[in-house]
Chains A and B, each alone.
Chain A
Amino acid sequence: MTGGKDERPLTQNIRPGEEPLDIEAYLRAGGYAALRKSLRGMTPEEVIHEVTASNLRGRGGAGFPTGKKWSLQPADDDARAHKYLVVNADEMEPGTFKDRLLMEGDPHQLVEGTIVSAFAIQARVAYIFLRAEYTLASRRLQRAIDEARAKGYLGKNILGSGFDLELHLHRSAGRYICGDETAMLTALEGNRAIPRAKPPYPQISGLWGKPTVVNNVETLANVPHIVDRGAEWFRGLAHGEDGGTKIYGASGRVKHPGAWELPMGTTIREILEEHAGGMRDGYGFRALLPGGASTQFLVEKDFDIAMDFTSVEKAGSRLGTGMMIIVDDRTCPVGLLHNLQHFFAQESCGWCTPCRDGLPWVERLLAAIDAGQGEMRDLEILEMHTDFLGPGKTFCALAPGAMEPLESGLKCFREDFERHIHLKRCPWR
């Protein structure tokens, strides 16, 4: 069966403003069918195969094929015996609130997805690493976990399958860097949240040095549906190659800021104009960040780009989280970039030099320009940073991510920068 373009599996149970489904209601809505199907009738390899065939790509932002991530198995048997699944629910990307929607709106969907995925990779312990501020999600997830355990969906010998799983909800102490999977693992071990060098990849040496798979909340929320209804159905949900639906969102001065589940590959124009309702009256469109703060700006000419991993990358940006930040014509782009870089500088873990000491410099330069104290050579220094804080030069992806809006912003808003410098003040103030 092929999925229709109007199907909304991820959000089908979500009723905004209402309590999420409890386990009985979730079961009545067809929940835990994938759990029964996989644990009773499928081998782990078959689950992995189905997920691989579905073209599900990681929804955390990097878009790594989920099935492929699960297939990377350590060679040694001892290592296979102690595996972990960690759910990355540390949603701290600015402008991003899709995982929150899923966890608050349908916690059992994530719990089920986690159990099925843990079964696929044969992990016996799983953690949900939850953003510190998500207190409502925390309460709802914990209740869902408790209900699932009471039903025998967690614990020993789940549904008589012989598969055991302990699922722990871990509330983060609150650092953006924990969104990096290796820093998350380090934090989960009780250490300072500092990323790890790769290789070794977490699949080989992850949590407590054991093989570990880290997946995003939205990624795992898709898994029950893939298992339940098949890879072909899942691929059919999307407009393009990447399978499934995607939670898209828009924030900024649009008429209806929010998040919507749409076929993967929906165009920016459709999201912006049909779902977000276009710009608020009196505000013009300037640019947008397609998937959180650490992506490159896109402009009006890019409106017909399909929001999937490949198309957005072709346009010079990244799909990222798919949660767009809209910049209007009454907001100073220099001030906006300063605000973003302030966030990134603050959230640098302090481990590697370019990020720790480069980002504060960037932040101060932007503050100086914004305050009318900029110099033309400051732009060269900013450009130098967009290069030298790039991938491979820093330890992890935090600073390269921070440089994506800056690099494109320096191009998109060059005139604005120069006006600040020449006028010696912010033209917006």
Chain B
Amino acid sequence: MPHITIDDTDYDVTTGRNLLQACLSLGLNLPYFCWHPAMGSVGACRQCAVKQFHDKDDRHGRIVMACMVEATDGTRISIDDPEAVKFRASVVEWLMTNHPHDCPVCEEGGECHLQDMTVMTGHAYRRYRFKKRTFRNQNLGPFITHEMNRCIACYRCVRFYREYAGGRDFDVFAAHNHVYFGRHEDGVLESEFSGNLAEVCPTGVFDDKPFAKVYERKWDLRGTPSVCVHCALGCNITPNERYDTARRILNRYNSEVNGYFLCDRGRFGFDFVNSQMRLRQLLLRKDDDGEPKPATKAEVLRHLTGLLSSHKTIGIGSPRASLEANFALRELVGAERFHLGLSASEQELLALIIDILQRGPARAASLKDAERADAVLILGEDVPDTAPRLALSLRQAIRQKSLETADRMKIPRWQDAAVRNAAQQERSPLFIATPDATRLDDVATSTFRGAPTDLARLGFAVAHEIDAASPTVLDLADDIRMLARKIAEALKNAKRPLVVTGTGCTSAAMIHAAANIAWALCRGGRQGALSFAVPECNSLGLGLIGGGTLQGAFEAVERGEVDTVVVLENDLYRRAERGAVDGCLDRARHVVVIDHLMHGTARKAEIVLPAGAFTETEGTLVSNEGRAQRFFQLLVPEEDIQGSWRWLRDLLHGSGRNSGWARLDDVTAACANALPTLASIPQAAPGADFRVNGAKIRRETHRSSGRTAIHAAASVHEPKPPEDPDSPLSYTMEGYFGPMPSPLIPYFWAPSWNSVRAVNKFQDEVGGQLRGGDPGVRLIEPTFEAVPHYFEGVPEAFAQRAGEWLIVPLHEIFGSEELSRLAPAVGERVPQSYLALNSDDAVSLHIAEGAMVTVSLAGEVSHLPVKLRPDLPPGVAGMVAGLCGSTGIFLPAWGQLTTGSGAVGDEVGHHE
């Protein structure tokens, strides 16, 4: 451990760090701009200048950039040296020559790294008396604002967008003090990670556009620790509130999961909580044909009491509801009458995935594991669209080889530009086998396109190449066998090989094949890891609870064994064929829907109980990694809204049973007691009784303003602050803020660090884990010594059919997910539903791009415009899962295509 001296004080620092990292990790305030813990050093801004001394007797020293000098044993530096202090102030003075000083009208004001650094360096008095340069700004689409005059040219945006996230439509243009960061022309930023620019930018050049429309200062925003609900990765987020509405999402650092970055679906999708589709009132339909009408809670509970006490109630759970809500429903109806609310295929795949993770030797990879993988095979999954943040991690994984090259050349890994230059195009192996092109293909070693069964066969073949004991694939074409051999070699030669697959193709064989590969690697003594992309934020959690199938529920209703169906946070029309859902909801005498959104299922309900969205309730979600994470309430909902688990508790009580559940902890504990696989979920976060110095942790900042004025329009008397019985967090500015357990951090702030960079002060060392460990508990750890049997059942090769196409599910980051598309900004990015068709097939059918085709699929007929996809295999077509026109259709399935129909615009097959 190197021993260094800073301003005559001795410190031990971590080996291999630069001086800036070392200083920040020691808690010292050294200003910087261009350095980023996830992106390393480039030495551009010259802000982190310190004085370095040759030895004890050197009184003169020389100015060096802390971010570019390694902290080696015996290094002597001074931060407080007068010349260094003066130079750092000069850097800000230079930056300020062109900065517009428009802080009062800038969204960044109050959480601006440039403001913080300006204050930190002490530059206050303006000596530059000439004109500033000005720029024309661009419209960058619905997510990000652009105000180039504020730019201080730290180059972080372009380094993030191009080098870190792989975007191509953003760059730095021109030179000297006219450098311009933007697109070559106005237009929507294509990268699905563009939202991070708002946090990467140290000032107000790039900001959150939807937030700008409902803007509040950071110090007025209430925050809470939360978890993203727009896919299964469990990225940690901080939603912000003001005037009882959710305003925006910020990244909440978790070194094991999302690190510093989110995807745009996660950042901008939250706005569904403010959507017109929200259910806010109790609705009761008193007679069969009448419209549901607002009712009181007492009225509804009275109505329900009779219904629920019978044993003729079944519950249908949800992969987008918390463990606690699902468990509460299971308690209400009984385990044997609890159904998971998943499509048949999804339920089967989830069970399979859980079995593989529980029984096998391969570890479920965290996003950090994925980032460190040195050989990756993606089997069947369109990762950028189904698990976007994972794609960003895999983009870093391909750099493992270049990091090794840098080590060999003795270039420190943090010296980013030098590492990239030394490595050039050198990449760790990444193989992508999917039905269609993906947005990771640009960095793949090689790609393979095939129908799902052919992808699975490739996977089986790879496993067989690694371990001959795994099943053989017969009749495999030579080129595919060669590819399998190449992939197998790459995985075998890796130290941390990773296989990524998921439910995206709806193929059990694919998952079998992926497991075989990882297990074969483990049998060979390698640390094979698996990453399964599953659809929703609590898919894995729901699978771990377990329960009956949706089909089982429908059959029970069909058989007349059921009076009442309680549907929890679920639109069944997304889960099963329309006819089956209609049959169930029509036949059941009473349908109770607990949800936060109006949808087809809720429209059919007799009783609708308005549930809290993720901002209005709390609970535990299990990510695809098997990580249980707690999300906390941001605001107290208005009208009749309350958390689903509270509705279910009320129903339990209404049916004469006393659950004894006063607060969330009670439900969490009951769930942990009842289900051994979930035994550790209470440890995901401290319980409601947790206090620091007798105080709760405050969700509002100490500078929060307008408290007595906000409600003054209604009453000049200050209302009693709302209480939160479910968490150790207070809703107001009263309470504690300081070192705290990581799952409870409601916002990152530290003295002198008002921007998101305050996270530095919450980490063990900058860029490392949060102090005391990152949030979440892993529920599933592999049995390393396990030697499970390989999965058999290698599928037959795909065979084209005359006049029919195998229609596979495709995914769109904006559109396929149910909730985020209701956010207006995301809505702007949702494409029209389409049928994707191989270009050659289209030629033979005489179909041009954009032409309408009629798709007949399992009795459903849809009219869709054609998109030509040269990568799709012949005989395979694709429809976008979850998009209007394809819900309730279960893929892959064989369908017929016809052209020339006059039925363009016909709504048949459109369910929404």
Some 17 contacts from A to B, beta carbons below 8 A apart, are A192-B172, A200-B409, A200-B418, A205-B409, A208-B424, A209-B424, A346-B176, A349-B175, A350-B174, A350-B175, A353-B45, A353-B47, A356-B94, A356-B177, A361-B94, A364-B130, A392-B64
Kindly list chain A residues whose C-beta atoms are within 8 Å of the C-beta of B417: 196-197
A348 contacts across to B, CB distance below 8 A = 175-177
For residue A389, give the distance in angstroms from its CB to the closest CB of chain B.
Answer: 10
Contacts of B777 in A (CB 8 A): none
Contact with B along A319-358 (1 / 0, CB 8 A): 0000000000000000000000000011111111110111
A423 within 8 A of B: no
Residue A76 interfacial (CB < 8 Å):
yes
**In the complex where A346-B176, A350-B153 touch, is A357 in contact with B411 (Cβ < 8 A)?**
no
Contact with A along B163-189 (1 / 0, CB 8 A): 000000000101111110000000000
Which 6 A-B pairs give the minimum distances between C-beta atoms? A357-B94, A350-B179, A348-B176, A209-B422, A205-B422, A364-B130
A residues less than 8 Å from B68 (CB atoms): 197
Question: Please, which residues of chain A bring their CB within 8 A of the CB of B44?
Answer: 351-353, 395
Q: Closest B-chain residue to A384, C-beta based?
A: B90
Chain B residues with Cβ below 8 Å from A345 are 176-177
Contact of A393 among B49, B95, B97, B409 (CB under 8 A): B49
Shortest Cβ gap from B82 to chain A (Å): 13
A240 within 8 A of B: no
Q: Is A175 in contact with chain B by the CB < 8 A criterion?
A: yes
Q: Is B408 an interface residue (CB 8 A)?
A: yes
Contact A350:B178 (CB < 8 A) given known A209-B422, A356-B153: yes
Closest Cβ of chain A: how far from B31's Cβ, in Å? 12
Contact with B along A49-88 (1 / 0, CB 8 A): 0000000000000000000000000001001000000000
Do B421 and A209 touch (CB < 8 A)? yes
- Closest Cβ of chain B: how far from A69's Cβ, in Å? 19
Chain A residues near B175 (CB-CB < 8 A)? 175, 348-350
Check A392/B63 contact, CB under 8 A, given A350-B175, A360-B176.
yes
Using CB atoms, name the residue of chain A closest to B408.
A76
Shortest Cβ gap from B733 to chain A (Å): 37
Question: Is there an interface contact between A357 and B177, defined as CB atoms closer than 8 Å?
Answer: yes
Which residues on B sit within 8 Å (CB–CB) of A200?
409-411, 418, 422
A381 within 8 A of B: yes
Q: In the complex, which residue of chain A has the Cβ closest to the Cβ of B415?
A: A197
Q: Is B556 an interface residue (CB 8 A)?
A: no
CB contacts under 8 Å to B, within A187-201, are 192, 196-197, 199-200
Contacts A353-B44, A393-B49 known; list 11 others, CB within 8 Å. Answer: A76-B409, A199-B411, A199-B418, A200-B422, A348-B175, A350-B178, A352-B44, A359-B176, A360-B177, A364-B130, A392-B63
Is there an interface contact between A352 and B43, defined as CB atoms closer than 8 Å? Answer: yes
For the complex, is A204 an interface residue (Cβ under 8 Å from B)? yes
The answer, yes or no, to whether B62 is at the interface (CB within 8 Å) is yes
Within 8 Å of chain A (Cβ to Cβ): is B790? no
Q: How far is the CB of A41 from chain B (nearest CB, A)?
A: 35
How far, in whole Å, are A357 and B179 apart by their CA atoms in the complex? 11
- Contact digits for A405-425, partner B, Cβ 8 Å, 1 yes 0 no: 000000000000000000000
Within 8 A of A (CB), among B516-559: none
A residues lining the B interface (CB < 8 Å): 76, 79, 175, 186, 192, 196-197, 199-200, 204-205, 208-209, 345-354, 356-361, 364, 368, 377, 381, 384, 388, 392-395
Bound complex: CA A351 to CA B417 (Å):
13
> Which of A204, A347, A361, A394 has a CB less than 8 Å from the CB of B176?
A347
Task: Flag if B177 contacts A350 (CB, 8 Å).
Answer: yes
* Bound: A352/B176 CA distance, A: 9
| Interface size in chain B (residues, C-beta < 8 A) | 43
Instruction: Give complex CA distance A349, B155 in Å.
Output: 13
Cα of A394 to Cα of B49 in the assembled complex, Å: 10
Bound: A353/B422 CA distance, A = 25
Nearest-neighbour CB distance to chain A for B436, whole angstroms, equals 31
Shortest Cβ gap from A23 to chain B (Å): 36
Residues facing A in B139-179 (CB within 8 A) are: 152-153, 155, 172, 174-179
Instruction: State the CA gap A199–B418 with chains docked (Å).
Output: 9
A220 shortest CB reach to chain B, Å:
25
Residues of B within 8 A of A204 (CB): 409
Contact B418 A205 (CB under 8 A): yes
The residue from A347, A353, A377 contacting B153, defined by CB atoms under 8 A apart:
A353
Cα–Cα, bound, A345→B178 (Å): 11
Task: Establish whether residues A353 and B176, one from each chain, have CB atoms under 8 Å apart when the complex forms.
Answer: no
| Contact present for B94 and A209 (CB under 8 Å) | no
| A377 closest partner in B (C-beta) | B127
Tell me the minimal C-beta distance from B555 to chain A in angstroms.
64
With A197-B68, A205-B421, A384-B90: A357-B98 Cβ-Cβ less than 8 Å: yes
Q: Are B421 and A354 interface neighbours, CB within 8 A?
A: no
The contact of B43 among A346, A347, A357, A395, by CB within 8 Å, is: A395
Is B423 an interface position by the 8 A CB rule?
yes
- Indicate whether A353 sits within 8 Å of B415 (C-beta atoms), given known contacts A197-B68, A209-B424, A347-B176: no
B811 interface residue per 8 A CB criterion: no
Which of A205, A208, A353, A377 gathers most chain B CB within 10 Å? A353
Determine whether B135 belongs to the interface, using a CB cutoff of 8 Å to chain A: no
Q: What residues of chain B lie closer than 8 Å to A384, measured between beta carbons? A: 90
Q: How far is the CB of B423 from chain A (nearest CB, A)?
A: 6
Q: Which of A76, A209, A394 has the most CB of B within 10 A?
A: A209
Query: Quick check: B179 and A356 within 8 Å, CB to CB?
Result: yes
Chain B residues within 8 Å of A197, by CB = 42-43, 68, 415, 417-418
Given contacts A197-B68, A353-B45, A353-B91, contact A361 B97 (CB under 8 A): yes
Give the distance in Å from the alpha carbon of A200 to the alpha carbon of B127 in the complex.
Answer: 38
> B89-110: which residues lie under 8 A (CB-CB) from chain A?
90-91, 94-95, 97-98
**What A residues does B45 contact at CB under 8 A?**
352-353
Minimum CB–CB distance for B9 against chain A, Å: 24
Interface centre among B49, B153, B409, B417 (most CB of A within 10 A): B409
Residues of B within 8 A of A349 (CB): 175-176
Q: For the complex, give the distance between the alpha carbons of A192 and B410 in Å.
A: 25
Question: Are B62 and A392 touching (Cβ within 8 A)?
Answer: yes
Contact A353 B424 (CB under 8 A): no
Chain B residues lying within 8 Å of A205, measured Cβ to Cβ, are 409, 411, 418, 421-422
Give the CA-CA distance A336 to B208 in the complex, in Å.
47
Is B421 within 8 A of A196, CB to CB? yes
Cβ-closest chain A residue relative to B175: A350
Question: Do the beta carbons of A354 and B418 come within 8 Å of each other?
Answer: no
- Contacts A349-B176, A384-B90 hold; do A360 and B46 have CB atoms under 8 A apart? no
Pairwise interchain contact B176-A393, C-beta atoms closer than 8 A: no
C-alpha spacing A364/B133, complex, angstroms:
13
B95 touches A353 (CB 8 A): yes
B128 contacts partner chain A, Cβ-Cβ < 8 Å: yes
- The interface centre, meaning the residue of B94, B179, B423 with most chain A CB atoms within 10 A of its CB, is B94
| Whole-angstrom CA separation of A364 from B132 in the bound complex | 11
| Distance A79 CA – B424 CA, assembled complex (angstroms) | 13
Residue among A175, A196, A204, A351 having the largest count of chain B Cβ atoms under 10 Å = A351
**Structural contact, B176 and A350, CB atoms closer than 8 A:** yes
Check if B94 sits within 8 Å of A358, measured CB to CB. Answer: yes
What B residues does A361 contact at CB under 8 A? 94, 97, 128, 130
* Closest B residue, CB atoms, query A193: B175
Known: A346-B176, A350-B153. A393 touches B46 (CB 8 A): yes
Against A, the Cβ 8 Å flags (1 = close, 0 = not) of B121-142 are: 0000001101000000000000
Q: Shortest Cβ distance from A281 into chain B, in angstroms?
A: 40
Q: Does B87 contact A (CB under 8 A)?
A: yes
CB distance from B789 to the nearest CB of A (A): 44
A79–B410 Cα gap in the complex (Å)? Answer: 13
How far in angstroms is the closest Cβ of chain A from B96?
9
Residue among A186, A350, A351, A357 having the largest count of chain B Cβ atoms under 10 Å? A357
Chain A residue numbers with a CB within 8 Å of B130 are 361, 364, 368
Contact B177 A354 (CB under 8 A): no
- On whether the beta carbons of B179 and A393 are closer than 8 Å, the reply is no
Q: Which residues of the other chain, A, contact B179 by a CB distance below 8 angstroms?
A: 350, 356
